[in-house]
Amino acid sequence: MSGQHTLPDLPYPYDALEPYISRQIMELHHKKHHQTYVTALNAAETNYAKTTTPKERIALQAALRFNGGGHINHSLFWKNLAPAANEGKGNGGVLKEGPLKQAIDSTFGSLDALKKEFNATTAGIQGSGWGWLGLNPTTKRLEITTTANQDPLLTHIPVIGVDIWEHAFYLQYLNVKVDYLNAIWNVINFEEAEKRYTEGVSGSKL
């Protein structure tokens, strides 16, 4: 079946991540940007199903990769966020004792050290892309990595993904990407991250 993807609902209201991510950003990001990837992915898959030659199929690869990646990445991103605990709104930003915290402490030394390394690595992305905390499927170790444009993470199992496109922060943080990166840790859903981590360690496919 092709062309059947739909925009998933956010698991919280548009203003739920304030003050760290504004309602305006969340509405545009979800209703406009993510919707555009879904619409274009459906169109590309519909066209792909009608192709009759390899040349026609090759011509659609870029659209499938870009819009398919955009849909995959944003669907993960919304679930990776949660209203901030330090605003009394939810569980965002809180890493409880458990397997993920143990892995972060043993790999990076502390959550603060992970944040510092993650922010430094993702701040270095040239142009648009994504920052990832991923599980290396071979070594079962946590690693920080990046992907360009809307490329999904294929080398690792994604545990946390952060959108580093300007559309994710510019309306609130302007050109100061590092302020966005510092702020977003207040709304990271570590419970979701731990779920992805433990499923990845146990070998199930995400």
Task: Spell out, one character per residue from 163 to 192, where the chain touches Fe ion: x when CB under 5 A holds, - when not.
Answer: x-x--x------------------------
Known binder of ligand: residue 156? Answer: no
**Residue 167 is assigned to a ligand binding site:** yes
Q: Which lies closer to Fe ion via its Cβ, residue 142 or residue 188?
A: 188
- Distance of closest approach, residue 66 Cβ to Fe ion, in angstroms: 12
Q: Beta-carbon neighbour count of residue 164 at 10 Å?
A: 22
CA dist 178 and 148 (Å) reads: 18
Considering CB under 5 A, how many residues would be counted as binding Fe ion?
Answer: 3
The reply to whether 29 sits in an annotated binding site is yes
3-state secondary structure at position 161: strand
Asked if residue 164 lies in contact with residue 142, where contact means CB atoms within 8 angstroms, the answer is: no
CA proximity to 150, closest of 44, 57, 52: 44
Q: How far is the CB of 11 from Fe ion (least distance, A)?
A: 16
* Tokens of residue 189, six digits: 């859903």
Instruction: Between 22 and 136, name the residue whose CB sits nearer to Fe ion.
Output: 22
Q: Is 74 annotated as a binding residue?
A: yes
Q: Determine the residue with CB nearest Fe ion.
A: 163
For residue 66, count other CB atoms closer than 10 A to its CB: 17
Q: Which stretch binds Fe ion (CB under 5 A): 81-89, 148-156, 157-165, 172-180?
A: 157-165
Paired tokens of 94: 């809180």
Instruction: State the minimum distance, in angstroms, from the CB of residue 150 to Fe ion.
Output: 8
**CA distance linking residue 38 with residue 25, whole number of Å:** 18
Q: Which residues bind Fe ion (CB under 5 A)?
A: 163, 165, 168
Binding residues for Mn(2+), by number, are: 29, 74, 163, 167
